Amino acid sequence: MVWKKKNKILIAVLLAFIIAAGVFLTYTLKKENAVASINGETITKDELYDKLVNQYGSDTVDQIIEDKIVASEAAKKNITISNSTVTTEINKLKEQYGGEDAFKQALVDNNTTLTALKNDVKNYLLIKKLIEPEITVTEDEMKTYFDQNKDSFATAEQVKASHILVADEKTAKEIKQKLDNGEDFATLAKKYSTDSSTKENGGELGYFAKGTMVTEFDNVAFSLPVGKISDPVKTTYGYHIIKVEDKKPAQAANYEASKTQIKETLIDQKVDSEYQTWIDSKKKNYDIVNTLSKDA
């Protein structure tokens, strides 16, 4: 699992969902049908089901049991997670991955779907709300974390820019002339840009630090004044016309400005480390039977 979420609970839940879905689908299909063959010898869905149950059944059922306990404990305390809260977390993941396209590819790479991910994020947020009241984060802990991770709280110089990418210099010059004549940058990006990931947003790239883009692009974007539009810039991708919309200066790490982020990070770490103790204590209050358990 490669999600940039600093929490192995969420990772475990995601993997469990995928495994559980596989077991469930296999069980509900007609077992007599073959799923494969080798030299004419069939491999049946019955064999596949048995293999999945033997390998993953016990752990998957344990995960489902834990999910139901979480849901029950949340209901007791009237804890809910709104769809808008889940959407906010999903948008954070998209930003961490560098945009919609990279995020969608991550879903494919991890053999999951947006719907499944939303369910897993919601479940994790329930866990966090249940455990967080039992967690204390001290000022000393936050200062220690800041000192140990100071570089990550410094901000490099950033540029906010848009671009129009085309394949040849002739087209690029024609578009630049249209811009010089007063035509709208976003409209031309939607019409001409070959960058499918940005064209529908008018070529917007958002903020990026130096070194994020290829050298030729970077050099122009960071030297161009705010509000200005470049002449065509050649890179390995084609010809870019760059519009600089804003700039943010570099900032040194600042503890006071970073306290909220640090506290949230430490809470996530403590939720992660204390989850197993918490869920084990809650299991004692439930009548649980797992016939697939290794101890059964």
Q: Provide the residue type at 290 as one letter.
A: N
Q: Are 229 and 242 in contact (CB under 8 A)?
A: yes
- Closest by Cα among 272, 275, 270 to 69: 275
Q: What is the pLDDT confidence band of residue 269, given thresholds at 50, 70 and 90?
A: very high
Residue 211 CA to residue 218 CA, distance in Å, equals 7
User: HEC states along the chain?
Assistant: CCCCCCCHHHHHHHHHHHHHHHHHHHHHCCCCCEEEEECCEEEEHHHHHHHHHHHHHHHHHHHHHHHHHHHHHHHHCCCCCCHHHHHHHHHHHHHHHCCHHHHHHHHHHCCCCHHHHHHHHHHHHHHHHHHHHHCCCCHHHHHHHHHHCHHHHCECCEEEEEEEEECCHHHHHHHHHHHHCCCCHHHHHHHHCCCCCCHHHCCEEEEEECCCCCHHHHHHHHHCCCCCECCCEEECCEEEEEEEEEEECCECCCHHHHHHHHHHHHHHHHHHHHHHHHHHHHHCCCCCCCCCCCCC
The answer to whether the CB of 192 falls within 8 A of the CB of 148 is: no
Instruction: Say whether pLDDT at 15 is over 70.
Output: no
Q: List all residues 6 or more positions away from 163 whose beta carbon is below 8 Å from its beta carbon.
A: 189, 193, 195, 198, 203, 205, 217, 240, 241, 242, 243
Which is higher by pLDDT, 240 or 11?
Answer: 240
pLDDT in tens, 135-155: 999 999 999 999 999 988 998
In percent, how much of the chain has pLDDT > 90?
61
> Taken in order 120, 126, 131, 133, is the CA torsion positive or negative?
positive
Q: Does residue 26 carry a pLDDT above 60?
A: no
Domains of the chain in sequence order: 8-139+256-283 (1.10.4030), 155-248 (3.10.50.40)
What pLDDT was estimated at residue 293? 74
More confident residue, 96 or 15: 96
Structure pTM? 0.61
In sequence order, the β-bridge partners of residue 37 are: 42
Average pLDDT for residues 40-58, to the nearest whole number?
Answer: 82
Angle at 101 between CA 109 and CA 86, to 5 degrees: 80
Stronger pLDDT, 63 or 3, i.e. the higher one: 63
Q: What are phi and psi of 166, to 5 degrees?
A: -135, 170
